[in-house]
Each structure stands twice: as C-alpha cells, then as structure tokens.
Structure 1
C-alpha cells in the first residue's frame, strides 16, 4: 500500500477506501449501528413493496410514490453499505476505478431521485388535503407514471457528469480516498489538476436540483399547513398536523446532512475529518431507515395490512 501512495499513475486501477479516518480502531463497533440501520432499511422497504403489491386497495398514487421511494432507498443504501461493512469487518478497502465511478453515479443519481420523489409526495399530499375532490382526477395512474419517468430522467441526466468529470482528471499523487465510499469531491481531490469545474458542478447540482426541490416542498407544505389550520375541529387539525410534522422530519433527515456534507467538504476545513465522514456515511442510512417507519408504519392502511400479515393465522 505504501507504493501506491507515491506511484505516478494517470488512471489508477484501484482506489483504497479508508473507511472513517481516525476511527479505524472503532470500525467494528461503528459497524454495529450501521448494520442494524441497514437491516431495518432492507426489511422495512421490502415490506412496503410486498404489502402494496399484494393489496389491490393500496394501488393509489400515494402508495405508488411510496414504492418508488422504497426502491430508491434500497438501491442507494445497497450501493454503499455492503462495501462499508466489508471495510469495517474484513479491512477490504480496495475498489476498482470503474466500480468507484459506478458507485459514485448510483449514489448521486438515486439521491436525486429520492429528492424528486419527496417533491411528488408533497404534491400528492397538497392535492389530497387542499383539493380532496379533485385528487383522483388530477393524480391519475398515467400522470403518476409521467412524474416517475420525469424524476428518473432528471436524476440520470443531471448526475451523469459526476463520473465523467472524475474520469477525465489525471491521478498522480495517491489513490487513497479518506472516506467510506466514493464521494465525488473526495475522489477528485486526489487529482493533480485544477478541479474547480468539478467542485462548481457539484455546487450547481446541489442548489439547482436539491435547492429547487426544497423550494417546491416548502411551498407545498406551507399551503398544506394553511389548509390544516382552517379545518373545523381541533382533533382533525392535530391529527393532520402530526402527520405533516413526521413527513417534514423525514425530509429534513435527507436535506440537512446533504447540504451540510457538500458545503463542509469544500469550505469546512476546520471540521474534523472523522466527524465529517461519519455524518456523510450515516446520511446514506438514516433516510432509508426512517422512510418505512414514517411513511409506512404511520400510514394506517400500511399498518393495518402489516398487522393482518403477522396475525393472519390467529384471526
């Protein structure tokens, strides 16, 4: 490994992922909550997909969006967490150059898809609460399919430059990535070239895609909250408000670490690296773990079908 630190190479055959630099001694302990969160994410999201597929009564726009979110969470977490755990458990740190770029693309594209789906879900909630009589005519199956296609195309196209920009730079200093997965800025920082275009593109993508999504979600929930406070009874207001608060918590769990990590990777030079890497790594697991709980278990239809599934024999 010492030779790979200083060898001149333009296109490295492999990169070395350090995991969480500075906390190598604690990797086994860190792997316990990581593995637990990943297991919960897998079980929760697969359960949602199974229940919605099995129950025809759940074939509605809200549950279609929920299934899209479940698939996105599964792919995004699975593209990174198994490799993280192999680093923590077996010290398996090598990753090929092509696999690194592929992982990078999957992380960014599915993260953007997740953001787009949350916008679609916020729009669905807005129509359901503010225009309930028009919900079925606005959110038809064909319209939901078009929204899903638009989210996928936007994510795939906007994130395509990430691996292409990373591939074009010469890497002549080191192939050691001080991170737990192939984060774009962590990879291109190893290049012996002016990488400002990569950094600027990352910021542009952050504020144009995620920033726009945050704006639309904020507008949707502002209108929803305004409609909630006009409901006739206090119980109805509290029930709907509680649901919206849980949804907003899930949204914050996605966007706050995303903006924090992107900005501190570029400007937070005084932030301890192990803290930054830990936060960014956890960010890949917390939303996939929370979404089945907040959007699934807290949704009455999903909860009822889940209870029926477990207690079917007893009933």
Structure 2
C-alpha cells in the first residue's frame, strides 16, 4: 500500500475524540436541621403588616442559602400571608409556619384592635450543650419600623429547670434531656429549644467553634459580649474546651479573654475564638459614638 493510501485509510477511520477529565459530581446540599423564623412572636393591628424571615440551618447552625422555604398560616381569617409578609385582617390569634425539607419554624401572631406592631425574637432558637456548659439567648423587641425597643424587662422561664436553667437569658445545662426556654414581654412570648447531652467517649474533639452573634455593631467606647461554643463533629458542645480570643484589628476593636469586644475606632474587625486548633469568627463593625 502506498503512503497516500495509508493516509487516506487513517483519515477515513477518523481520530478518536480526546476525553478530558470527568466533571466532579455536584456536592450535595447540607440537610436542613432547623428552620429559624423571625420574629417568633408578633402583635399587630388590623390592616397592619409585618415582614417575617425564615432561614434554613444545617446541624452546625449554618444558613443553607439555596434551601426552598414554603409558608402557611393556620387561620387565614385572622392574617393574610404573602411570601412572608403578614397582614392583620381581624382580631384573633394564629400561627404562621415556614417549612423546608420537612423541618418547620413558627411565629405566633396576635391581631389586636387599633394599630402598632411589636415583635419579639430569640437567638438562637435551638441549641445543644453539655451539662455545665452555658449559652446566652439574645431577646429583642422591635417596633413597627423594625427599630429595637430599649428599656424592656424580659421574664425568663424553663420548662425543665433540672435539665436547663435560665438566668437573664444565660442558659446552663444541668442534666441530659430537653427543655424549652421562654422569654416573655408585653404579652409576647418566644421559645428556644435546648437539648442537654452528656459527652460520650466518642465526643470531645473540637471540630468547629460557633461564635454568637456572628456579626454585630458597637459604638466607639462601648462593648458587646460574644460567646463561643466549641463543637464536636456531631454538633454537640465540647465541655471543658479552652477558648482563646483575638482581634484582627486591635486599633478598631479589642477583645478580652471572656469574649467582650470594645470599640476603639471606626471600622471593622474580625474577632476569632479558637479552641482545639479550630476557630470561629465574628465580624464587628465600630461606629462613631
């Protein structure tokens, strides 16, 4: 066979396509462990409106941005609902529910005569800790424009103080079990579900550190308290883990050994809490006084 014939035969067979590396399979979205609805409790007048927000969280308390949320209301004669915006229709009480992947969060709504909106929220709305560990619950009351109402006194209670005790929002794990912590003010109430688990032999190694709140604003010369919770791979609090605090910009904000952050100058700083070689972070913005 001549060279020309060989080349013609090769050309007629074609060249096998060059296969590149296969695309990696898409990573699976984390499972929804909790749906957090804010506010948890609302008092509003007939024809008044309030915007509710729902956030799907994984078992580490991290938001799942692409989670699908559906809304429902138990009594549509009391409140109408449109994509999370509730409007009072007549006096009465009802419950608004946000659902995602089988998990649900709720907001209690009371429609009263007259006008004016007051809301109450707790953060976090659920947590797990070990006996002897603590977590601080932050309660906030806002008016119809979303501005915090200062000077209010909350009444705190625990459904099972032998499991979890509460003092001015500071919850202490007492023994294994579950308890509901309730904050009440101005006829409103909001709940947080607390689970207390004793560490098992497989627990104890820090896999992550949760810092709360994860972002805050403070004036120059003022302070804000952050809390850090070391967690194991299952999301359970690691009892007895030592936590150290640091600031990325001490000229903007300083932090002491307990997590108390003080504003020094206008700007932003990242506050880190480190335990067992793992770190959690919070962003603190300092504004003029």
**Given the two structures, how large is their TM-score scaled by the length of structure 1?**
0.20
More helix per residue: 1
More strand per residue: 2
**Given the two structures, how large is their TM-score scaled by the length of structure 2?**
0.21
